């Protein structure tokens, strides 16, 4: 609850303590001295430094805050971190050619590749994303086929993947696919020698793909939590994060630990994919969750690619939404993230004060690079997060001239900070378009 300073109890309990001290000061001091003496005896004061750390669960990780601030400071020119690990960013550096793993191969060494693409997202992003993947295939001289999973249910994703297998491709790209849904299908691809690549996902979403290009959910949450911490100036904050159940391990443990290290009380609520893709169900879900939390300060929605407008609408309808034009209040500040038009639109309208948008195109270019290495005899980079990520953070004043309705405009906006397409063009020996009609 925002007005209460971190680590302090209410005035009622403070008053009781004062009365105790006045009436029983001598007894209190004697008891305190006895405790101190006992603490010095063997076995009574804890065995090591870990006991001391456990006694201070709200101690803020200042190194973590410093790392977060470094990312934000570098974002204006484009920054990259090299690995994802709970509670830390292992490497922060300016974006340059040397951030890409060594051992790449030129596109000319891999020809006549047939790529099938399965994307489970029933959103506007899919239309642009399909055009983007197709455009990169055209630049590489590869054949491309797309298999829609319609509304993204388990049965529909399985059917789309089965259809992709039947088309007899060399490679199947998936976007954010839960591997736990596709055990039988992935067994078929292995028996047929089909290379499988899962983009914006890692092995915690289900094993079985040959290549994963992870999505840095923990980094996004770290930056949002850092913003909250700086706004609260050390006071406690109540945060509600809502996630889809298909990806529990992918989003929750590390993010929860990050919140604890910043003295933020973050409750994480899991929902299901069907609900979070349905605007009506999403608004009902968020309305119910915030109505049960009268002291809630922040809502952290998983991604602006999943009914984020409806989630924001629920907060707005409650009368508790805090916009950038409002003076500080005890209302609810809304966050979403990922870099989609709806999130940029919210930022532009002042309905969210801070936005983390990591260009998805980086992940797909990394996926193509790993595929080229695998098929062309290059060095396949190890680890789901081997390519790192561009960390773009934005404020309302940054995006006022942006056409938030157009995916290509957002791509150009990201490239204006650093044209990372040039890095992959240099590796592959090709020219990539900067516009993808959809």
Which pLDDT belongs to residue 14? 31
Distance CA 176, CA 321 (A): 31
The structure's pTM equals: 0.80
Distance CA 134, CA 116 (A): 10
- pLDDT at residue 6 tops 90: no
Q: What average pLDDT does this structure show over 274-300?
A: 94
Which pLDDT belongs to residue 189? 98
Highest mean pLDDT among 69-73, 201-205, 363-367 belongs to 363-367
Q: How many residues does the chain have?
A: 438
pLDDT digits (tens, 9 = 90+) for 385-398: 788 888 788 999 99
Q: What average pLDDT does this structure show over 141-149?
A: 95
- pLDDT at residue 52 tops 70: no
Which pLDDT belongs to residue 262? 85
Q: What are the φ and ψ backbone dihedral angles of 142, each rounded to 5 degrees?
A: -100, 150
| Torsion sign across C-alpha atoms 273, 278, 280, 286 | positive
Which pLDDT belongs to residue 81? 61
Which pLDDT belongs to residue 157? 93
Domains (range + CATH), the chain: 96-215+361-386+409-426 (3.40.50.2300), 217-356 (3.40.50.2300)
For the packed helices 124-140 and 407-417, what is the interaxial angle rounded to 10 degrees? 60
- What are the helix and strand counts (H, E) for the chain? 16, 16
Q: What is residue 381's DSSP assignment?
A: P
Of the candidate ranges 15-19, 52-56, 280-284, 396-400, the one whose mean pLDDT is the lowest: 15-19
In terms of C-beta density within 10 A (0-12 exposed, 13-18 middle, 19 or more buried), how is residue 82 classed?
middle
- pLDDT at residue 76 tops 90: no
Which pLDDT belongs to residue 247? 56
Residue with the larger pLDDT of the pair 188 and 358? 188
Of the candidate ranges 27-36, 41-50, 287-296, the one whose mean pLDDT is the lowest: 27-36
pLDDT digits (tens, 9 = 90+) for 236-280: 899 999 887 765 444 555 677 788 888 899 998 888 878 888 999
Confidence bin at 118 (pLDDT 50/70/90): very high
Which pLDDT belongs to residue 345? 94
- pLDDT at residue 312 tops 90: yes
- pLDDT at residue 200 tops 90: no
Confidence bin at 43 (pLDDT 50/70/90): very low
Count Cβ atoms below 10 Å from residue 49 Cβ, excluding itself.
8
């Amino acid at each position: 609850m925002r007005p209460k300073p971190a680590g302090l109890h209410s005035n009622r309990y403070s008053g009781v303590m004062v009365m105790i001290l006045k009436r029983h000061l001598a007894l209190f001091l004697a008891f305190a001295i006895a405790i101190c003496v006992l603490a010095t005896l063997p076995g009574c004061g804890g065995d090591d430094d870990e006991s001391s750390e456990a006694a201070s669960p709200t101690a803020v990780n200042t190194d973590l805050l410093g790392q977060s601030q470094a990312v934000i400071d570098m974002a204006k020119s484009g920054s990259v971190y090299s690995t994802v690990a709970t509670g830390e960013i292992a490497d922060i550096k300016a974006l340059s050619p040397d951030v890409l793993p060594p051992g790449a191969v030129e596109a000319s060494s891999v020809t006549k590749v047939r790529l099938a693409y399965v994307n489970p997202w029933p959103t506007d992003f899919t239309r642009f994303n399909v055009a983007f993947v197709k455009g990169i295939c055209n630049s590489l001289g590869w054949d491309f086929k797309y298999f829609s999973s319609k509304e993204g249910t388990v049965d529909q994703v399985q059917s789309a993947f089965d259809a992709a297998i039947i088309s007899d491709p060399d490679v199947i790209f998936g976007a954010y696919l839960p591997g736990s849904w596709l055990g039988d299908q992935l067994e078929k691809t292995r028996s047929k020698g089909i290379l499988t690549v899962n983009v914006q996902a890692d092995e915690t979403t289900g094993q079985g793909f040959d290549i994963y290009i992870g999505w840095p959910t923990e980094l996004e949450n770290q930056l949002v939590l850092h913003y909250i911490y700086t706004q609260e100036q050390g006071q406690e904050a109540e945060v509600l994060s809502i996630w889809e159940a298909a990806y529990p391990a992918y989003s929750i443990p590390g993010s929860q630990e990050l919140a604890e290290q910043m003295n933020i009380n973050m409750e994480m609520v899991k929902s299901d994919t069907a609900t979070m893709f349905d605007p009506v169900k999403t608004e009902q879900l968020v309305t119910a969750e915030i109505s049960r939390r009268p002291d809630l300060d922040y809502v952290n929605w998983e991604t602006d690619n999943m009914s984020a407008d409806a989630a924001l609408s629920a907060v707005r309808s409650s009368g508790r939404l805090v916009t950038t034009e409002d003076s500080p209040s005890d209302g609810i500040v809304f966050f979403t993230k990922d870099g989609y038009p709806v999130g940029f639109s919210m930022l532009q309208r002042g309905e969210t004060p801070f936005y983390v948008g990591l260009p998805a195109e980086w992940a797909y270019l990394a996926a193509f690079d790993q595929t080229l290495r695998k098929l062309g005899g290059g060095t396949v980079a190890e680890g789901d997060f081997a390519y790192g990520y561009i960390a773009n953070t934005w404020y309302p004043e940054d995006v006022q001239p942006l056409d938030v309705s157009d995916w290509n405009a957002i791509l150009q906006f990201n490239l204006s900070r650093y044209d990372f397409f040039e890095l992959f063009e240099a590796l592959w020996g090709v020219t990539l378009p900067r516009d993808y009609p959809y």
